[in-house]
Amino acid sequence: MITLDWPWVLLALPLPLLARWLPPVRAQIGAALRLPFYAQLPVTGERSRFSWWRLLVALVAWALLVLGAARPQWIGEPIGLPVAGRDLMLALDISGSMEQEDYELNGRAVSRLAAVQAVATRFVKRRDQDRLGLILFGSQAYLQTPLTFDGATVATMLNEAVIGLAGRETAIGDAIAVAVKRLREQPEGQRVLVLLTDGQNTAGALDPIAAAKLAAQSGVRVYTIGIGGGEVGIRTPFGMRLLRQGNDFDPTTLKQIAETTGGRFFAATNLEQLEAVYAELDQLEPNERDQRTFRPQRSLFVWPASAALLLTVGLALGSVVRPVVRLRT
């Protein structure tokens, strides 16, 4: 279907008729060259016919210009858009404790952050119909990526996070507060925060439990994932040795945060458990779809405008070339 975005511009079509209705401009009578044989010139009728032809072309060019100014558009058939029913924010701990190498990936010991990045990237790619955001926190909490459907950008920002970028300590309460600020403007029942941390709060202006109560008041459900709690890797000249269990794992706080907001707590002490956590989150927060549609649009003004330009150039060339030909004959 073709429509006009500015149909009121068509009111300018009869403007050339005003030139016919306006009173003619009387020229001052002065000296002139009189030709006694002017009436016998044979070109009068031909010139008259040529003038009518030029007038017709000029009117067509004017109509095309007005049509182009009215912004004609082609509108296609409605196309359904799958829209997710969840706004999901990821809060990732990048404090110093996340550099503990107590996870194993592809047969080698890796840090907690590397394990989370590997698994969370796949989780982000699976939720291609959700709006996702990313918060990085250490001593301070920062919004790295606002809510967006661009999951590729979220995954890139997630993988580019480095330990210590936001400080070496852990401000869990501040991270929850930043997520609440970003999610509370979203529709109720669609506000979800996934918090990934070792659970030991050591910094920040807001206590984690107080932040959880604030999230509950704002309708934000928090799913907490406890990272660590397994054996800590110690690098020696003889390779990596897993010697002892980390003492910086605080599941009690994470459980209380989740219970306060109506979410759930997950413990991921190894990579397999971390994979299972994200698989369960896919079930807890399904990709709900809305019935939204859009109609593709394509602007068509260039076609009448180009035709008007060609006609105008033709008129200009005709007024120059024809007198030259007549002089030669």
Average the pLDDT over 114-122 and give the result: 86
How many domains is the chain partitioned into structurally? 2
319 belongs to a structural domain: yes
- My answer on whether 145 and 227 are in the same domain is yes
Structure tokens at 116: 């989370």
29 belongs to a structural domain: no
The string of pLDDT tens digits covering residues 51-69 is: 777 788 888 888 888 988 8
Q: Report the distance separating Cα 126 and Cα 84, nearest Å.
A: 12
- My answer on whether 183 and 325 are in the same domain is no
- My answer on whether 193 and 232 are in the same domain is yes
Instruction: Answer whether residue 15 shows pLDDT above 70.
Output: yes
pLDDT value of position 35: 54
Q: Is residue 230 within 8 Å of residue 102, measured between CB atoms?
A: yes
105 belongs to a structural domain: yes
53 belongs to a structural domain: yes
- My answer on whether 151 and 176 are in the same domain is yes
Q: Report the distance separating Cα 209 and Cα 258, nearest Å.
A: 10
- My answer on whether 142 and 71 are in the same domain is no
Helix (H, G, I), strand (E, B) or coil at 213: helix
The string of pLDDT tens digits covering residues 274-318 is: 778 777 777 766 655 555 566 777 888 888 888 888 888 887 777
- My answer on whether 230 and 247 are in the same domain is yes
Residue 218's alpha-carbon distances to 123, 151, 183, 190, 258, in angstroms, are 26, 25, 8, 11, 14
19 belongs to a structural domain: no
The top-scoring range by mean pLDDT among 82-96, 237-251, 257-271 is 257-271
Domain that holds residue 168: 81-291
Instruction: Answer whether residue 197 shows pLDDT above 70.
Output: yes
Q: Report the distance separating Cα 62 and Cα 233, nearest Å.
A: 80
